[in-house]
């Protein structure tokens, strides 16, 4: 398939998901390549551990992560939508794709209990969810990180989508105007 064919098919998948499950999508169009690159820049390519991507959708961020020279075998995707998960498994055959709930990683990652990640990329539209759930989610992600590793989260809000958990910091590392709507990239780390 050509890049244009993938883009058209991905846009149609995205539109279908937006219509059927708008709370889980959180945007009006897929993330732009510029946003995907800004997010992928937060991954330290010198770390050798596994990388976790939550809410990959059509795979725009996944592609940018792989283009950062992250080996596909190191990358695990967690996608809630079964149809999107099947699409991602087909599009990225060497990447580990799990269909499951990113808010319930204990169940979704059940065979990988205790594994620590060298980076976690979250594409979930956190502002669509209650604050208590966002806090619990971020605390769970921080607990799954190697020392010094980032949780990279993007958001359309002007503030971080959730405060940094105790003992952690959050900083905005990018403002991407070449996205609809413009987006901010946040990095959470243990202090």
Going by C-beta distance under 8 Å and a sequence separation of 6 or more, which residues neighbour residue 65? 40, 43, 51, 53, 75, 121
Name which of 151, 129, 154, 188 is nearest 30 in CA terms. Answer: 154
- Indicate the domain borders of the chain: 3-190
- pLDDT for the residue numbered 12: 47
106: which residues sit within 8 A by CB, 6+ positions away? 113
Q: pLDDT (tens digit, 9 = 90+) per residue, 70-99?
A: 999 999 999 999 999 999 999 999 999 999
How many Cα neighbours within 13 Å face the side chain of 101? Answer: 6
pLDDT in tens, 8-58: 454 444 444 444 544 444 445 788 999 999 999 999 999 999 999 999 999
- Taking a C-beta distance cutoff of 8 angstroms, is the pair 29, 180 a contact? yes
What Å distances lie between residue 178 and 32, 83, 146, 182, CA to CA? 7, 28, 31, 6
Distance CA 190, CA 58 (A): 30
| Parallel, antiparallel or unpaired: strands 119-122 and 51-54 | parallel
Instruction: Using alpha carbons, list the distances in angstroms from residue 145 to 2, 38, 116, 149, 178.
Output: 36, 20, 5, 6, 30
114-165 confidence digits (pLDDT tens): 899 999 999 999 999 999 999 999 999 999 999 999 999 999 999 999 999 9
Concatenated DSSP letters of 58-75:
TSHHHHHHHHTT--GGGE
* Location of structure tokens 């946040």: 186
Domain 3-190 belongs to what architecture?
3-Layer(aba) Sandwich (3.40)
Helices assigned H by DSSP within the chain = 3-20, 22-25, 33-40, 60-67, 82-91, 105-108, 131-143
What is the C-alpha separation between 54 and 112, in angstroms, rounded?
15
Asked whether the predicted pLDDT for residue 191 surpasses 80, the reply is: yes
Q: How far apart are the first and last CA of the chain?
A: 44
Task: Tell me the pTM.
Answer: 0.86
For residue 187, what are the β-bridge partners?
152, 171
């Amino acid at each position: 398939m050509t890049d244009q064919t993938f883009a058209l098919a991905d846009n149609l998948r995205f539109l279908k998901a937006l219509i059927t499950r708008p709370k889980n999508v959180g945007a009006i169009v897929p993330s732009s390549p510029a946003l995907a690159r800004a997010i992928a820049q937060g991954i330290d390519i010198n770390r050798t551990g596994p990388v976790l991507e939550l809410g990959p959708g059509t795979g725009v961020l996944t592609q940018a992560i792989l283009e950062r020279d992250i080996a596909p075998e190191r990358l695990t995707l967690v996608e809630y939508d079964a149809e999107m998960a099947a699409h991602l498994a087909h599009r990225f055959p060497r990447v580990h794709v799990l269909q499951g709930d990113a808010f319930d990683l204990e169940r979704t990652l059940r065979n990988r209990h205790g594994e620590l990640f060298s980076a976690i990329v979250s594409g979930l539209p956190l502002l669509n969810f209650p604050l208590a759930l966002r806090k619990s989610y971020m605390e769970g992600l921080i607990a799954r990180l190697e020392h010094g590793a980032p949780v990279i989260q993007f958001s359309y809000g002007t503030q971080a989508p959730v405060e940094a958990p105790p003992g952690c910091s959050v900083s905005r590392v990018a403002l991407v105007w070449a996205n609809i709507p413009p987006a901010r990239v946040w990095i959470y780390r243990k202090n």
